[in-house]
Structure 1
Amino acid sequence: MSANLTVDPEDIAELIGRCKLATNVSEFHGSLVGFISSGGIFPGHSVLGALQLEPDPAPSADEVAMLGRLRQQTQEWLADPELTFSPWLPDDDAPIAERADGLTDWIRGFLGGLGLGGSVMRNQAMSDDAKEILKDMAAIAATEFEFDADDDVNDESLIELEEFVRAGAMLLHAELATGPQPASDTLH
């Protein structure tokens, strides 16, 4: 995917704000990754429809095209053997509480996306590792973080959780996805 067509979190933040979507960037990205990872089928090629988000007003033609690129970009990054995938979380220089909230929002979105994509129905076919990752992600998402007085310890712990979630999402994608979804410029 060429750099000038790459969708970034700021693009999605603008779409969320303009279309008054009931989500944030981390949760939106987690939902999309979960849906793709579960092998979900995009109804009418609609990203927002698949994630059960109701825009008001509807996205513009450019925003619809951007969502299509984001979907394709996310599929490519999840399948990339170079492991380029990374969850969209608050920047490393954001306050630790904001970063922790972003991580839990991303996980909640991811777990919701898996459910919307139908992986819950195939849960019995999951490996023990995949089931354990899902259990651990659910536990992280339900955690109320308490921070140590030492910011370095907090930062290191959060980075470890972020890496676990990143690796877990890639493993679940590799195990659950039934194949790439067709890309289209008319996705929304």
Structure 2
Amino acid sequence: MYQAINEILIRHNADQGAAEAHGIAVGMLCIEGKVDAANWLHELWADEQDLPDDDKAFMLELFERTRELLDPDASEFSFDLLLPDDDEPLSEQVDAFRCWCQGFLFGVGYIQTDAEWPGDTAEVMRDMIELTKIETEVEGEEDEDAFIEIHEYVRMAVLSVRDQFAGDKSGQMH
């Protein structure tokens, strides 16, 4: 899936790769689960109308699948970051992870423009900012173990942000 998304983005001159594009989608969806996928496509391409229908459908499928995986009723184990496969070089995985975090921050900022951060989300945002500076020249088992831990932290932090904003919205509705 990662490679297919990346190829579409490259073929159509997007400024982002697959990891960053997915991070943007996840950030947007964590803050507003009902956000329109067209907003995401517009961030990736100023004129997404030029996208061939099959590529557009594939991108929309990724967005909607991500929405489903982020649904609070979905298993927390089904959501994951869209990153290169484990058999790719670790430095490539870490670089994509860094881009994913940048995308996530952008997606959150796209929807959440005021300074009100419910619960622990301000701390998570600070952590994400630090992760955009992660060293990508990595190798060896120790770095791989550290990457696995950081990846899992971010995965769970994303779900926490989603829950904080979902709870925040439901609290406002009463």
Report TM bin, short chain: 0.7 to 0.9
Match of 1:165 among 151, 154, 164: 154
Normalized per residue, the structure richer in helix is 2
Match of 2:52 among 51, 60, 63: 60
User: Per-residue CA shift, 1:58-83, capped at 9, x if unaligned?
Assistant: 11122222222222100111121242
Structure 1 SS opposite 2:50: coil
Q: Is the 8 Å Cα contact of residues 24 and 40 (structure 2) preserved in structure 1?
A: no
Q: Is the 8 Å Cα contact of residues 22 and 81 (structure 2) preserved in structure 1?
A: yes
In 2, Cα distance between equivalents of 1:9 and 1:63 = 14
Q: Is the 8 Å Cα contact of residues 18 and 57 (structure 1) preserved in structure 2?
A: no
User: Per-residue CA shift, 1:102-140, capped at 9, x if unaligned?
Assistant: 1110000000011112x242x42411x221111111111
- The farther-off stretch of 160-169 and 61-70 is 61-70
Q: Is the 8 Å Cα contact of residues 19 and 57 (structure 1) preserved in structure 2?
A: no
Task: Tell whether 2:77 aligns with 1:88.
Answer: no
- Cα gap change, 1:47/1:94 in structure 2, threshold over 3 Å: closer, same or farther? same
Q: Is the 8 Å Cα contact of residues 14 and 44 (structure 2) preserved in structure 1?
A: no
Structure 1 SS opposite 2:75: coil
Counterpart in 2 of 1:142? 133
In 2, Cα distance between equivalents of 1:159 and 1:82 = 17
In 2, Cα distance between equivalents of 1:62 and 1:146 = 36
In 2, Cα distance between equivalents of 1:145 and 1:11 = 23
Task: Tell whether 2:134 aligns with 1:111.
Answer: no
- Deviation for aligned residue 1:94: 1.9
What is the TM-score of this pair, normalised by structure 2?
0.83
- Deviation for aligned residue 1:52: 5.0
Aligned length: 165
In 2, Cα distance between equivalents of 1:18 and 1:115 = 27
In 2, Cα distance between equivalents of 1:10 and 1:58 = 21
Q: Is the 8 Å Cα contact of residues 76 and 159 (structure 2) preserved in structure 1?
A: no
Q: Which amino acid is 2:57 matched to? A: A
Give the gaps of 5 or more residues in structure 2.
Answer: none
- The alignment yields a C-alpha RMSD, in angstroms, of 2.3
In 2, Cα distance between equivalents of 1:19 and 1:137 = 28
Structure 2 SS opposite 1:124: coil
Q: Is the 8 Å Cα contact of residues 19 and 81 (structure 2) preserved in structure 1?
A: yes
- Deviation for aligned residue 1:142: 2.1
Q: Which amino acid is 2:35 matched to? A: I
- Cα gap change, 1:105/1:173 in structure 2, threshold over 3 Å: closer, same or farther? same
- Deviation for aligned residue 1:163: 0.5
User: Per-residue CA shift, 1:126-168, capped at 9, x if unaligned?
Assistant: 11x22111111111112335647xx111110010010011111
> Identity over the aligned pairs, expressed in percent?
26
What is the TM-score of this pair, normalised by structure 1?
0.77
Give the gaps of 5 or more residues in structure 1.
Answer: 1-7, 180-188
Q: Is the 8 Å Cα contact of residues 13 and 24 (structure 1) preserved in structure 2?
A: yes
User: Larger relative contact order (C-alpha < 8 A, sep ≥ 6)?
Assistant: 1
In 2, Cα distance between equivalents of 1:96 and 1:163 = 15
